[in-house]
Structure 1
């Protein structure tokens, strides 16, 4: 409590000190007045900007530098014009460059922002929070993003628009046509939109803006200038239908006797995506039988702590506009909505018995029968999101070896059967927010529901799960200061077995032996909990940033049916102060330094953790950068380490990190760094080393290679729990843990619409155990009093199991399997993508995969040779074609 009060006092002092600092002088908003082209012919999108229509409006220039030297004239100036008709918005840019040979015309896939580029942002709602962003590179690459919450850019938004660029004697030009159907705006006769334009001048890594912005703005959209002259615009209802067809062939090594692994599988499929404008403000997205075969595989990862590993959503339908449904509780990825729960790997199991010669085939993913997403923002400030999805009932198929199903024309009974492994499930998410107080504040809510049609042996799943919450944010003093909060609840319902499993899961651990505030109740059929977060801070103006906040997750909170929750029973506080230096000097372009303090308790009041951290970042004048930090953790208690046993104490820890990078604009750039952590008494250590290369041999090709190696030795790695004389025995071991991974990406672009991309990642994880021990006093400050090592006459390895005679009476008291293991994985993807017309694509994909185990006594070289190079890979060949109808 003393440390918490100290952190509160420090931030309060900073708050009082900095509150007196006035925000930088208010910058006058610029206005650009556009005109309708009327009866004049529409501009042809060819990059020339010589059509007669462009003569209707004046150029607007006087761009001002934003980075690195805010508020000064840029190296090269930029001009902009904007026109419109009843169907389109037209934008023309002229980007002066004294020596056109220095224009960087790198190619890349959509949304890669290569080389020199120019960008326009349109706040067509004029709500100071949301915007549509369109970026044109000098090479003709298109990038587009939807901006939410004032500065949250989402590149998953992919509208249809048209671009042409051209290099001239003294400049390069970009001509853009944006169909109004791709934007959202009101029905007002005379409209005002927010407007901003940004230019990247590659040679100096410089950003200049049409609307001047202070060095540390409290947001992005709220600082825009204004676009006037939009008279009589009629909202366009969007109607797009995109069917797809798919052919897929999987090949793999045949498994003798296994009827499901005969060497190859093939499938042909089709589906449909649609985007329907219900009103100009609100859009309905539909998908029927979606396929995500062109999506990259997840990176390799192993978690020895038992918790689920969080992977980012990559599927296009769920990625697009995902920010609308975001509802974070604080503390990592915890969220009321985690879209990867939809279509997850089946959670059930079959009764296949390998001893009887039975084989099983369980789908890798649950079929998504269909999904609909209704989202948008109304003219009066209501943000609306509604998602509905239904996944199919999935079965595991069981066969008795590879004998035929029919002999002499008669069926062979008892050779195969199906068992349900995932029920039909309905998912619902509703999200609502309302702006008010001149758009300086908002309040919102969310509700989620998961309902399963349980049958068969699936009673261990929740029949229903609900969660909801309220969130708000209030900004004041020109958005310099803010306060925000999140409050949530959850309720899950199911059989007594299902709710008991939830109580005993690693997320909750109600069975903890030393917990007086929770206990397992095997008669419960529901569980309800709460969570939330509150934070206050300074986000703009001056050179200081700080915040003070905390979050909680009650022991009963459960979100993992449609959300993500790593650990409940957690109450944390934090305070953060940062000083930014945005005025360039003789040795840096930008820099920032700061510190943070955080503490953690559980709901019984146990003081579990405190951490002090300092950090900094420097971008030097040569565009090299330095990212560094260090922390001290004098107190570390973990409730989950012993998987239901008492709280476990780790020794105090110190860690530091340092990363250095060269100029990322260069043809060859490098990032190298390390993370180093050490606990006292050699309780544990962590060493991670990273070396990354990016190489651009020609404008059309980029190559990146990222290699990481880590060691994580520990004297006390959890192995398992056994029983000794009727008492639980928590067995630990010293572990020599090593991880090696390399990620290779090669991108080759024939033009902005035709690209070839290769991704490959070998991943190796080794865990070698020794010096087994058991817990005697889990919270002792001295490690030697916390554990007791087995003597050589107490433990021995016999046929893959360690046998323990703890009391040395000549009989085995308990045993456990040898925990040593090596996990080897290789994933690769070769994707040819052709956007043959805007919005319509062809994908040709070749994927490879290897998953194997190895010997911990081998070095990485031997493992790579035996488990990767000499293994037969699984292959997937996929051809997918889509066509987007604009109706």
Structure 2
């Protein structure tokens, strides 16, 4: 008997002991909610010869759906679109008013999504309360409306900050606008319409640093709440047109019912991916694709007060100086070449309006601290440049005089090119410049005097990034990246490959390899001194992750050699190797219990 066979046998016996097979009652459809008149059915809609069977919300028995029965149950109501075929989204003749009220006649022509399923803590069972979603579009906007039935006293809704709504009830969607089953827009809304938006990528944490321009409004009702949303197509990067499809997940979170999560599509816990279980929408044709140019100019007036150590009377406390009024002009520009390709440019950009980093204690901190990017210029398609080893960290570009970036997607190819001229390395303080002036004066009497910062002052660092990634098949991708950082006596170049492969529906494998070349000062801890020399380094990262219904097994690791440097990225440590393995077992939730989460 092989090791693989023995492992499988042990797993099967353990699963039977922990989770014995039981008979599951058949689940019926949900009673449709009173919404605007039913639109004319399209070819992708459910047949009209079936009728829904109501589910009592007071029932003590939770009906359970087998995965193979869920999709056939999608046709339980003739007003609801089918889950088994791509949904053709209707084009609305008149746009609805985004006020949170579902009383616009325009919604009568929208596609209606219903028959939601509780996917957590239950496993594709009937939800505590029903939910319906309406969707339509016109040349400029995608319109979505949510009607949520819930006990008004149990609705959790606060006037929260953007992206900070996850202690409230919320509804929303994942929009896979390229239908590549790899990443999607996150668009969530609490009952008052407060937004949380970001990027979902398979195998990574959700990134809420991205802010999408859209309009939303929510209203509390006597039996729950309603939310209306208008999403400009110009705020998205997408492929649309005849026969183009988008992937879509629709979710609803009910905090008071054990943090219940309801989903329009069934979620199979034995499949590790989310987006390959998404539904499909189509019919988004004749969208206005004007080449949009956005220019944001800035004019900054500033005056700085500082304490200088240079005085007229040699006072050791120094003196206080008010520098003169300083004027700075700058701008950022964004030009949409196509719906999938964007050009960004910045000249002396002013990031003063960007949210400041939260304070972090650095007491006894031995290694650098990672701070998320928040500047809008760098956030445009930042997901393209992200890799497991953080080879590109745009926070390394501190104060660019000029910067340009082109990002986009064409077919199965995703690419990004970034250039910046950063004046921060050569931007010295006034006292340091005074030291330089005094040092230069001493050369009249001491021609051999060396002024330490003379070669660096007012010099810029040139930074470049190239990224290319190609989708292979429907579930794999392979990428190449390269970066360069060049300052007066500090030069660093990196290049490498990365990839992600789905070995089967439960197993994911990722890797990244990096080679680096540097000409700079390297610190020698044994000699306690830094030497200017050339250093070549190597780094690697790997991960194999197998996720089943109850089991998760992960093997991962990373390492970097002593001379590894990635000056455009973020490197916590060098000269290290780490290898980790984890096994987790989680029992199935019992959705009928009064407390699942606490």
TM-score of the pair, normalised by structure 2 = 0.76
| Residues 1:443 and 2:478 are matched in the alignment | yes
| Residues 1:481 and 2:483 are matched in the alignment | no
Q: Please give the per-residue CA displacement for 1:812-843, whole angstroms capped at 9, x wherever unaligned.
A: xxxxxxxxxxxxxxxxxxxxxxxxxxxxxxxx
* Residues 694-733 of structure 1 aligned to structure 2 (within 5 Å): none
- C-alpha distance in 2, partners of 1:248/1:521? 38
| Residues 1:111 and 2:144 are matched in the alignment | no
Give how far 1:467 is off: 0.2
* 1:425 aligned partner: 461
- Cα gap change, 1:249/1:32 in structure 2, threshold over 3 Å: closer, same or farther? farther
- Of residues 415, 430, 433 in structure 2, which corresponds to 1:397? 430
- C-alpha distance in 1, partners of 2:379/2:8? 37
- C-alpha distance in 1, partners of 2:323/2:4? 63
* 2:576 aligned partner: 570
TM-score of the pair, normalised by structure 1 = 0.52
* 1:878 aligned partner: none
| Residues 1:213 and 2:267 are matched in the alignment | yes
Any conservation in 1 of the 2:88–2:281 contact (CA below 8 Å)?
Answer: yes
Give how far 1:161 is off: 1.1
- C-alpha distance in 1, partners of 2:271/2:247? 16
Secondary structure of 1:181's partner?
A: helix
Q: Please give the per-residue CA displacement for 1:278-302, whole angstroms capped at 9, x wherever unaligned.
A: 2211112222222333432453433
* 1:271 aligned partner: 330
Any conservation in 1 of the 2:241–2:284 contact (CA below 8 Å)?
Answer: no
- C-alpha distance in 1, partners of 2:300/2:6? 62
Any conservation in 2 of the 1:190–1:232 contact (CA below 8 Å)?
Answer: no
Q: Please give the per-residue CA displacement for 1:523-567, whole angstroms capped at 9, x wherever unaligned.
A: x842212111233230x33211112233332233222x2223343
* 1:472 aligned partner: 499
* 2:54 aligned partner: none
* Residues 762-777 of structure 1 aligned to structure 2 (within 5 Å): none
Any conservation in 2 of the 1:186–1:235 contact (CA below 8 Å)?
Answer: no
* Residues 335-734 of structure 1 aligned to structure 2 (within 5 Å): 335-343=390-398, 367-378=399-410, 380-392=411-423, 393-398=426-431, 419=454, 420-421=456-457, 423-437=459-473, 439-452=474-487, 454=488, 461-462=489-490, 464-478=491-505, 480-493=506-519, 498=520, 501-502=521-522, 504-505=523-524, 525-538=533-546, 540-559=547-566, 561-584=567-590, 621=596, 623-624=597-598
- C-alpha distance in 1, partners of 2:500/2:332? 35
Any conservation in 2 of the 1:472–1:484 contact (CA below 8 Å)?
Answer: yes
| Residues 1:226 and 2:280 are matched in the alignment | yes
- Cα gap change, 1:261/1:53 in structure 2, threshold over 3 Å: closer, same or farther? same
* 2:193 aligned partner: 140
Any conservation in 1 of the 2:209–2:374 contact (CA below 8 Å)?
Answer: no
Give how far 1:61 is off: 0.9
Q: Please give the per-residue CA displacement for 1:108-163, whole angstroms capped at 9, x wherever unaligned.
A: 22221252221022111011012122222211212211223365422122222111
* 2:173 aligned partner: 120
Secondary structure of 1:154's partner?
A: coil
- Cα gap change, 1:552/1:273 in structure 2, threshold over 3 Å: closer, same or farther? same
Any conservation in 1 of the 2:469–2:477 contact (CA below 8 Å)?
Answer: yes
Unaligned runs of 5+ in 2: 17-65, 72-82, 312-316, 439-443, 446-450
* 2:386 aligned partner: 326
* Higher percent of residues as strand: 1
- C-alpha distance in 2, partners of 1:162/1:271? 29
* Residues 781-800 of structure 1 aligned to structure 2 (within 5 Å): none
- Cα gap change, 1:137/1:443 in structure 2, threshold over 3 Å: closer, same or farther? same
* Residues 68-83 of structure 1 aligned to structure 2 (within 5 Å): 68-83=121-136
- Cα gap change, 1:32/1:81 in structure 2, threshold over 3 Å: closer, same or farther? farther
Q: Please give the per-residue CA displacement for 1:421-453, whole angstroms capped at 9, x wherever unaligned.
A: 46311111111111122x21111111001122x
Give how far 1:229 is off: 3.0
Equivalent residue pairs, number: 512
Q: Please give the per-residue CA displacement for 1:217-264, whole angstroms capped at 9, x wherever unaligned.
A: 513322211113334445454432222344556567787938774267
Unaligned runs of 5+ in 1: 1-8, 330-334, 344-366, 406-412, 455-460, 513-519, 589-619, 625-887
Secondary structure of 1:45's partner?
A: coil
Any conservation in 2 of the 1:37–1:53 contact (CA below 8 Å)?
Answer: no
Cα RMSD over matched residues?
A: 3.7
- C-alpha distance in 2, partners of 1:186/1:312? 29
Secondary structure of 1:230's partner?
A: coil
* 1:94 aligned partner: 147
Any conservation in 2 of the 1:34–1:83 contact (CA below 8 Å)?
Answer: no
* 1:301 aligned partner: 361
Give how far 1:65 is off: 1.0
Any conservation in 2 of the 1:31–1:228 contact (CA below 8 Å)?
Answer: no
Any conservation in 1 of the 2:67–2:266 contact (CA below 8 Å)?
Answer: no
Any conservation in 1 of the 2:122–2:591 contact (CA below 8 Å)?
Answer: no
Any conservation in 2 of the 1:336–1:468 contact (CA below 8 Å)?
Answer: no
Any conservation in 2 of the 1:215–1:582 contact (CA below 8 Å)?
Answer: no
- C-alpha distance in 2, partners of 1:16/1:574? 25
- C-alpha distance in 2, partners of 1:10/1:552? 29
- C-alpha distance in 2, partners of 1:244/1:36? 41
- C-alpha distance in 2, partners of 1:101/1:32? 37
